[in-house]
Amino acid sequence: MALALYRKYRPATFAEVVGQEHVTQPLRTALAAGRVNHAYLFSGPRGCGKTSSARILARSLNCVHGPTPDPCGECPSCIALAPEGPGSLDVVELDAASHGGVDDTRDLRDRAFYMPAESRYRVFIIDEAHMVTTQGFNALLKIVEEPPEHLVFIFATTEPDKVLTTIRSRTHHYPFRLIAPSVLRTMLERLCEQEGAVVEPAVLPLVIRAGGGSARDTLSMLDQLLAGAGPEGVTYRSAVALLGVTDAALLDEVVDALAAGDGGSVFAAVDRVIEAGHDPRRFATDLLQRLRDLVILSAVPDAGAKGLIDAPSDQLESMSAQADRLGAATATRMAEVLHTGLVDMRGTTSPRLVLELLCARMLLPATADGDGALLQRLERMERRMEIAADEPEPTARPVRQPTAVEIPLAEPAGPEPAAEPEQRTGTAERAAERTAAGRPAQGPNAQQRPAASRPAAPARPQRPEATPAGPDLGLPAPPTLRSTARAARPDASRPEQPRPDQARPDQARTTPPDSRRTPPDQARPAARAPEPDRNRPAAGSPAGGQPPGSDRVARPAPAAASSAPTRSAESAPAAHESSPTPASEIEVVDVRRNWPEVLAKVQQRRRTTQILLESATVVALENGVLRLTMPSAALARRVLEPANADLLRAGLKQVLGVDWRIQCDADGPAARPAAAERRPAAAADPWDGAPLPEPPADGPDEEIPDDYGDPAPPTSGSQAPRDPEAMALELLTTQLGARPLEP
């Protein structure tokens, strides 16, 4: 019969005891100095080395060279007291669990007075000391109080509090602890090597987790896995099945679904857990453990390297992404919900029901009014601002210097109608200014100006403004690009939506060094080629023109183009135009998993689209239609405008090889009627204040599509912040005194 691992690898000296240095070190020092006490109390959780240490202590005391911290291992006493050795007459082990009665301790007491037969000390090891009865302890009390010189007591217990106080106070108490995962891991790796066992690296964390910090439990677990391993060794699959832990992939799926607020996938996963015969409590525990890891990860990004989280590196990576998606507050709240729920699950007759209710509660932050839910929503808002404020592409950083300026980029939805006329009127003055100084003055206009005058400056170019930017640079390509981009506008369903996109191509033109952007821009118009001719002449003329003059020349083009469009159906016709390719086996969870990659592809083409889509939630996938939701109706429409939708579809095609139609709705309550009235106070409520053309009582000014391109009072345009990010930013600056970080 094979010897169990935990017995085979039982430590024989204090140096071999792992993870208990805080105990073994002082003991070794005391032994080296010859300071031997007559009673010791070793306490701590099971399987962490108490009994082994007690035996080592006996061995160290009785070695011919002893008392010594390092028993020689060669003398008769050392051999007799070695692990699996025959034992010594002078070292008596009493298992109090079975022999804790008063008779046993009386017997022990009587034997204690005899001198040791062959060694220096008589050592009594009383295991499970908390099981000794009170009478039993009382019988021992006298001898522990005034022991003969040759006698040493070692009590080992998991519950030191149950050891009679009068006994305990006469002992030296050494508290053993659970062993750290990193220490256990080192031990397991060494042991697997010694055993010549093949174990997949991903198995070790499972074993360690199952062992709960106890060396004995961990080794027993590994022993069992090794015993059942085939020629290929211990695989992750077999370990998951045997240990009954939840597969990491399933946890990934659930966490992704939770982050996306997709109840369908969450409940489907729960169903699979139950169908597979797993214990719902176990699943909840594992999910809680995962959420714990995510909370740690959001607080300590390099938690893996620091050993706070024990997981394979690839899983660490995916967990970092999950932590980002979920956010610390969300993860914490969900963990709290789960933790409370686990207590409820304990006695329930239907753990599945409780588990499903827990999932429902985790999915519904908006219904809770606690701090956690509030934080979660705040976190979501902050994340959006972060996305807008900080650039994920390090290469672009130097070019896009004015970070603060960049933020308003997303703002165009709002001031659109007014912005154009304003720019138009300001042209002459601007041109003069440009020639004079050519540097930013004040206000938003000032930022646009430099963009045109200084091509390299990535400031914030705006649509009409940027038109001359191309000529400024003397780049041949830009005009074509712009003309096509402009031509695209008329066929856009919503005239006001093209705005943000337009800023994009313009920017690409104004920042020629950023080569990454230019090609995609070229590609994009090509896809939308239909009516480029219409504006080409107009756009073409400024192409070769000089900076200041061409500015004015170009103006008519946008005006003509922008006045052309009329309001049409809002339901993103462009997005639907191509026939859907039924996605074969790709499910919504796959989309969600690959969403970051899709966004990365989109980002290569155009950053605003990517920023916009960061707010999107992948809700469903049916018959080749990918359904998204956005926080507001206005944002949803923006997603659907051809430029954005096409990019998204292209991204999906690149990453997943699918050609889906995109559908996008607003989620949550859309604050439509309030939009206009709230506008002045928009800063107070960024989401509700999002631009919505619906309100009937708003006056012409609110009908964005109609007045789009028409001159409107400049003040209203520049004054009404309508983009959530911009409003959130304003809120932060005005209410909290926040200031954008200077690059």
| Binding site residues, Zn ion, CB under 5 A | 63, 71-72, 75, 78
Find out whether 124 and 167 touch, Cβ atoms under 8 Å: no
| DSSP type of residue 125 | E
Q: How far is the CB of 77 from Zn ion (least distance, A)?
A: 6
Closer by beta carbon to Zn ion, 116 or else 673 = 116
Question: What is residue 657's three-state secondary structure?
Answer: coil
Q: How far is the CB of 85 from Zn ion (least distance, A)?
A: 12
CA angle, residues 398, 402, 403, in degrees to nearest 5: 95
Q: How far is the CB of 15 from Zn ion (least distance, A)?
A: 15
Q: How far is the CB of 82 from Zn ion (least distance, A)?
A: 10
Q: How far is the CB of 58 from Zn ion (least distance, A)?
A: 12
Q: Which two tokens stand for residue 216?
A: 């004995």
Find out whether 232 and 198 touch, Cβ atoms under 8 Å: yes
Q: How far is the CB of 323 from Zn ion (least distance, A)?
A: 53
Q: How far is the CB of 64 from Zn ion (least distance, A)?
A: 5
Residue type, 103: D
Residue in 241, 242, 272, 252 with CA at minimum distance from that of residue 312: 252
C-alpha span between 145 and 728 (Å, rounded): 72
Closer by beta carbon to Zn ion, 120 or else 292 = 120
Closer by beta carbon to Zn ion, 71 or else 461 = 71
- Name 199's Cβ contacts closer than 8 Å, sequence gap at least 6: 188, 192, 222, 225, 226, 229, 233, 234
The sign of the torsion formed by the CA atoms of 16, 17, 19, 23 equals negative
Closer by beta carbon to Zn ion, 89 or else 428 = 89
Closer by beta carbon to Zn ion, 63 or else 123 = 63
Phi and psi of 663, rounded to 5°? Answer: -130, 140
Question: What is residue 319's three-state secondary structure?
Answer: helix
Q: How far is the CB of 155 from Zn ion (least distance, A)?
A: 24
Closer by beta carbon to Zn ion, 119 or else 298 = 119
Q: How far is the CB of 93 from Zn ion (least distance, A)?
A: 19
Q: How far is the CB of 109 from Zn ion (least distance, A)?
A: 29
Residue in 655, 405, 396, 606 with CA at minimum distance from that of residue 504: 606
Tell me the longest C-alpha to C-alpha distance in the chain.
115
Find out whether 155 and 37 touch, Cβ atoms under 8 Å: no
Closer by beta carbon to Zn ion, 27 or else 362 = 27
CA angle, residues 378, 382, 384, in degrees to nearest 5: 120
The DSSP annotation for 504-551 comes to: HHHHHHH-TT-TTTHHHHHHHHHHTTTSGGGGHHHHHHHHHS-HHHHH
Closer by beta carbon to Zn ion, 71 or else 545 = 71
The DSSP annotation for 39-94 comes to: EEEEE-STTSSHHHHHHHHHHHHHSTT-S-SS--S-SHHHHHHSTTS---TTEEEE
Q: How far is the CB of 223 from Zn ion (least distance, A)?
A: 30
Closer by beta carbon to Zn ion, 10 or else 607 = 10
Closer by beta carbon to Zn ion, 75 or else 141 = 75
Q: How far is the CB of 66 from Zn ion (least distance, A)?
A: 7
Residue in 164, 30, 15 with CA at minimum distance from that of residue 96: 164
Beta bridge partners of 122: 151
Question: What is residue 126's three-state secondary structure?
Answer: strand
Closer by beta carbon to Zn ion, 76 or else 680 = 76
Q: Which two tokens stand for residue 702?
A: 């609110």
How far from chain centre, in Å, is Cα 17?
Answer: 36
Find out whether 326 and 362 touch, Cβ atoms under 8 Å: no
Closer by beta carbon to Zn ion, 74 or else 386 = 74
Closer by beta carbon to Zn ion, 75 or else 178 = 75
The count of residues in the chain is 743
C-alpha span between 169 and 623 (Å, rounded): 75
Q: How far is the CB of 154 from Zn ion (least distance, A)?
A: 18
Closer by beta carbon to Zn ion, 75 or else 308 = 75
Q: How far is the CB of 76 from Zn ion (least distance, A)?
A: 8
- What's the order of all strands across the beta sheet hosting 39-43? 91-95, 122-127, 151-157, 39-43, 172-175
Beta bridge partners of 626: 621, 662
Closer by beta carbon to Zn ion, 89 or else 738 = 89
Q: How far is the CB of 88 from Zn ion (least distance, A)?
A: 11
CA angle, residues 28, 34, 38, in degrees to nearest 5: 90
